[in-house]
Amino acid sequence: MAREKKEQAQAIKFGTDGWRGLIADDFTFDNLRIVAQACAEYFNREFKAKRGIIVGYDTRFISDKFAQAVAEVLAANGIKVYLSDRPSPTPTTSYNIRLLGLNGGLIITASHNPGRFSGLKIKTPQGSPADQTVTHKVESYLYKTKVKSIPLSEAVEAGKIEVINPMPKYIEAVRKYLDLDLLKNCDLKVLAEAMHGAGDSYHAQVLKGTKVAIDVINSEPNPSFEGLKPEPLPHNMPKFMVIMKEGEYDIGIATDGDADRVGAAAPGGRFITPGEIMCLIALHFIENRRWRGALVKNIAGPMLMNKIAKYYNLKFFETPVGFKHIAKLMQTDNVLVGGEESGGIGVKNYIPERDGILTGLLLVEMMQQRKKPILALIEDMEKRFGKFRYHRQDIEIPLKTRERIVKTLFAKLQGKESAKIFKRKIIDTKTYDGLKFIFDDESWLLIRPSGTEPILRVYSEAHTDKEAKDLIGTVDKLSKSIK
């Protein structure tokens, strides 16, 4: 029995953004109920005021049943539960935490991971991602008490679980945030890619009453995501990229599996990186809305953020990967825009949370405000602050050998021959989250193991595509030479 519990404990481990696992392997109803019981212990012990918890879920395989199981455990532990009546975006659930004044939220989602994964995210009373302080406490409660549960029908009848629609109030909040008077007569054509995720038709709902012509593709739920990762990158959105290449739309915007990340494309099929998106939104706020505040990026974020912050004399922060670090700053500092290279972007005067729907629509607002095509806005930004090209490659490394390979790789790259390996001068090295090299021509390279998948993520940015790809190629070649 002790050995069995130890093996289960190893299967339940919170990473960069919650607990994730393979459905029917380590992500099972039994393990999920154990986690839900630990979450119940955490909420009951940490909060004197019993203000309830919201439980949301995405479009993955039996996510609704997983969410129901979580709700039944929480309710049996004396916690009032607000259970979503439909798949909904993570930012929708997070917003409703604030709206209802709750102690937090639990969301069944594996975000951008492939369809064979599911997961659980914990949200704080502020609607932000839970940091390690919270997740470590939850982990400490695992297996400490027997799992309690109450059938859904019985809990609903007793008023312990209330089934709600979280969508209307969220849509209302996003509509208030955007300048709908500006968009009212906007005749831009927008393509929205939902990637079969929880984003569904949210973009169209927000834009109701405006003249923006919006078409939504892949809005219907598909637990397998057509065999693709629901991560808004070009190779995961073939239909979207083909349509944008034809040039019938002024801009294309996309959201990931739980709609907290954003992606975009310009007419002609030019992919707009998340780094470019966060920088454009920063300029939109600074120059159009006349807002001020700090700019925040993670260690894999764009050099342009540094340059914009310096030009406007704004506070600037760089954090480890994981939006929880940015969210924490959003609660202590006046943050204008905080974003990750993965497409998770948070904005001022909103909840401290990523929102792929809102941030995508802010690009539409900026285009209408400046009366310029999206590519012209990017070109203007590059003329002022410099031209950078960003690339990322995921190198698959088995979990069993990942630690050894990464250790050997890092040792080689930090050795005396590092400058020769990269064929350029290194002016700074950062090791607080992976291994990052900054070179004298403003290019950089970052290598870090994923917190949720058996892969090594390699990021680079340089003034040309070739230079950025060559930097990644160097790491790829070296990693494959390690046996």
CATH number for 419: 3.30.310.50
Q: What percent helix, strand, coil does the chain show, rounded to 5? A: 40, 25, 35
The dihedral through the CA atoms of 22, 26, 30, 33 has a sign that is negative
Q: What is the pLDDT of residue 6?
A: 47
Q: What SS3 state is found at 345? A: strand
In degrees and rounded to multiples of 5, residue 216 shows phi and psi of -110, 130
Looking up residue 245, the CATH number of its domain turns out to be 3.40.120.10
Q: What is the pLDDT of residue 208?
A: 96
Q: Are residues 298 and 312 in the same domain?
A: yes
d(CA 289, CA 110): 35
* Domain that includes residue 245, residue range: 178-385
d(CA 195, CA 234): 12
Q: Are residues 77 and 33 in the same domain?
A: yes
Q: What is the pLDDT of residue 1?
A: 44
Q: DSSP letter at 130?
A: P
* Residue in 390, 170, 355, 128 with CA at minimum distance from that of residue 255: 355
Residue 172 lies in a domain: no
d(CA 15, CA 12): 10
If one counts the domains in the chain, the total is 3
Of the three residues 352, 385, 418, the one that is the final residue of a domain is 385
| β partners of residue 214 | 190
Q: Are residues 381 and 413 in the same domain?
A: no
Look at the chain and count its residues. Answer: 483
Q: What is the pLDDT of residue 451?
A: 59
Of the three residues 357, 385, 413, the one that is the final residue of a domain is 385
Enumerate helices (H) and strands (E) in the chain, giving the number of each: 18, 21
Q: Are residues 224 and 371 in the same domain?
A: yes
d(CA 126, CA 104): 8
Q: Are residues 220 and 357 in the same domain?
A: yes
Q: Are residues 214 and 279 in the same domain?
A: yes
Q: Are residues 327 and 396 in the same domain?
A: no
| β partners of residue 251 | 190
Q: What is the pLDDT of residue 452?
A: 58
Q: Are residues 157 and 238 in the same domain?
A: no
Residue 140 lies in a domain: yes
Q: Are residues 28 and 73 in the same domain?
A: yes
Q: Are residues 197 and 342 in the same domain?
A: yes
Find all residues with CB under 8 Å of 105, minimum gap 6, and list them. 53, 54, 55, 56, 93, 94, 96, 97, 122, 123, 127
Per-residue confidence of the chain (483 residues) as pLDDT tens digits?
444 454 555 578 887 778 999 999 999 999 999 999 999 999 999 998 889 999 999 999 999 999 999 999 999 999 999 999 999 999 999 999 999 999 999 999 999 999 999 999 999 999 999 999 999 999 999 999 999 999 999 999 999 999 999 999 999 999 999 999 999 999 999 999 999 999 999 999 999 999 999 999 999 999 999 999 999 999 999 999 999 999 899 999 999 999 999 999 999 999 999 999 999 999 999 999 999 999 999 999 999 999 999 999 999 999 999 999 999 999 999 999 999 999 999 999 999 999 999 999 999 999 999 999 999 999 999 999 999 999 999 988 877 777 888 888 999 898 888 888 888 899 999 999 999 999 999 999 999 987 556 788 999 999 999 999 999 999 999 888 886
Q: Are residues 206 and 315 in the same domain?
A: yes
Q: DSSP letter at 285?
A: I
The dihedral over CA atoms of 106, 110, 112, 116, expressed in degrees to the nearest 10, equals -160
The helix (H) or strand (E) run that includes residue 274 is helix 274-283
Q: What is the pLDDT of residue 111?
A: 93
* Residue in 7, 35, 55, 21 with CA at minimum distance from that of residue 141: 35
Q: Are residues 368 and 410 in the same domain?
A: no
